[in-house]
Every structure is written in C-alpha cells, then in structure tokens.
C-alpha cells in the first residue's frame, strides 16, 4: 500500500466500501460490547443495534471527515442515540402491547438471570449507575479508551473523567462487596 493510500485510509476511514469494511471488521466488537454494557439485556437486540449503527454510518459516511479513532466515537454516538430512541419508543407503548410483542416473557427473564449468573453481580451493579457514569466506565474498562479519548468524545474535561472514574469505581466496589460479590 502506498503512502498516500495509507494516509487516505487514516483520514477517511469510511469513504470507500473497502475502507469501511476494514473499519467495521476492526471496530464492530467494540460497538457491540459498548451497547451490551450500557443496555444489558438480550444479545440479539445488541446485535441489531450494532448493525443499525453501522448502517446509519454507511449511509451518512460522506458527512464524516476524520480519523479512525474519531470514526469509532462517531459510530458509538450513533449507537447511543439508537438506544435512546428505542427507550423512548419502548416507554410510550401501552403495557399490553409490550407483553404481546415479547415472544416469551419468561425466556427474557431467564436470559437476564443467565447473564447475571455469568457475569456475577457486575452487570447488575453497572446497570444501577447513572447513564453518564456507566458510559465512562464502559468506555474506559470495556473498550479500553484512555482518559483523554473519553474526555474528547464526551466533551468534558479530563479531570472530570478521572474523578468520575475514581468515584464510580469506589461506589461499584462498595455495591459488589455489600451484595457478596467477588470481594468476599
């Protein structure tokens, strides 16, 4: 690959089908993990949201101009907006419609219990956090982002990210210890 081709791929990671496919292959698991950690719940729903986020990114790729790191942040923002939209739609439905739309309400409860069993109480504790704290924890510890990347992505100060991380980790540690988590 020539120098110009590598430069183009770094600055325009979504421009062509080839560079978008490469970007997708290297980032889709991060987006999926981000959604699962923010939302919890069913695997198929997280897969659907991941697919929808990349589809929207593909359709709007010409509006994006930046590096691969920035592109991942852009797709995460799209995924987060999809989650918010789904939550709004879900919360507006009458309760009877919700039960009718679920294929098997007990299966959903079983899958939640299995997920809690596999991950201990960590996922449950994460889901009780306010959304902004949960997102910072997910970006740092699930996706492995550095503090400065999180601050840039969320538009907040690095010091704020560090303080939120420290306080939230302390809170999670206390929650897990009181529930008989891994610290026992």
- Asked if residue 79 belongs to a domain, the reply is yes
Which two tokens mark 154?
Answer: 């969320």
Do 140 and 165 contact (CB within 8 A), yes or no?
Answer: yes
Which H or E run contains 147?
Answer: helix 147-154
Write down which residue in 119, 151, 168 finishes a domain.
119
The candidate with the shortest Cα–Cα distance to 136, out of 76, 88, 183, 87, is: 76
Angle between helices 17-39 and 68-92 (to 10 degrees): 50
Q: What share of the chain in percent tops pLDDT 70?
A: 69
According to the model, what pLDDT value does residue 165 have?
93
User: Contact 184/126 with Cβ under 8 angstroms?
Assistant: no
Q: Which residues, other chains included, contact 3 with Cβ-Cβ below 8 Å and sequence gap of 6+?
A: none
The reply to whether 108 falls in a domain is: yes
Q: What is the pLDDT of residues 47-61, one digit of tens each?
A: 999 999 999 999 988
**Number of structural domains the chain divides into:** 2
Q: What's the number of CA atoms in the CB half-sphere (13 Å) around residue 83? A: 21
| CA–CA gap between residue 63 and residue 49 (Å, rounded) | 21
Place of tokens 């907006």: 81
- Domain range for residue 102? 8-119
pLDDT for res 3: 46
Same domain flag for 145 and 124: yes
Q: What is the pLDDT of residue 45?
A: 86
d(C-alpha 70, C-alpha 49), whole Å: 20
Residue labelled with tokens 């560090």: 162
pLDDT exceeds cutoff 90 at 95: no
Determine, yes or no, domain membership for 1: no
CATH of the domain at 22: 1.10.1740.10
Q: Residue 184 has which token pair?
A: 């026992």
């Amino acid at each position: 690959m020539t120098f110009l081709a590598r430069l183009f791929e770094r600055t325009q990671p979504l421009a062509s089908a080839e560079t978008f496919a490469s970007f997708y292959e290297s980032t889709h698991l991060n987006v999926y993990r981000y959604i699962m950690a923010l939302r919890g719940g069913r695997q198929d729903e997280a897969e659907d949201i991941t697919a929808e986020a990349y589809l929207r990114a593909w359709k709007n790729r010409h509006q994006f101009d930046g590096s691969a790191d920035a592109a991942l942040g852009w797709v995460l923002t799209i995924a987060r907006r999809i989650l918010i939209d789904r939550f709004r739609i879900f919360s507006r439905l009458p309760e009877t419609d919700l039960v009718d739309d679920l294929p098997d309400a007990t299966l959903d409860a079983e899958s939640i219990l299995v997920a809690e069993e596999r991950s201990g109480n960590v996922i449950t504790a994460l889901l009780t956090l306010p959304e902004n704290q949960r997102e910072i924890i997910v970006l740092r510890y699930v996706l492995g982002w550095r503090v400065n990347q999180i601050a840039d992505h969320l538009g907040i100060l690095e010091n704020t990210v560090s303080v939120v991380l420290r306080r939230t980790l302390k809170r999670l540690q206390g929650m897990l210890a009181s529930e008989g988590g891994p610290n026992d």
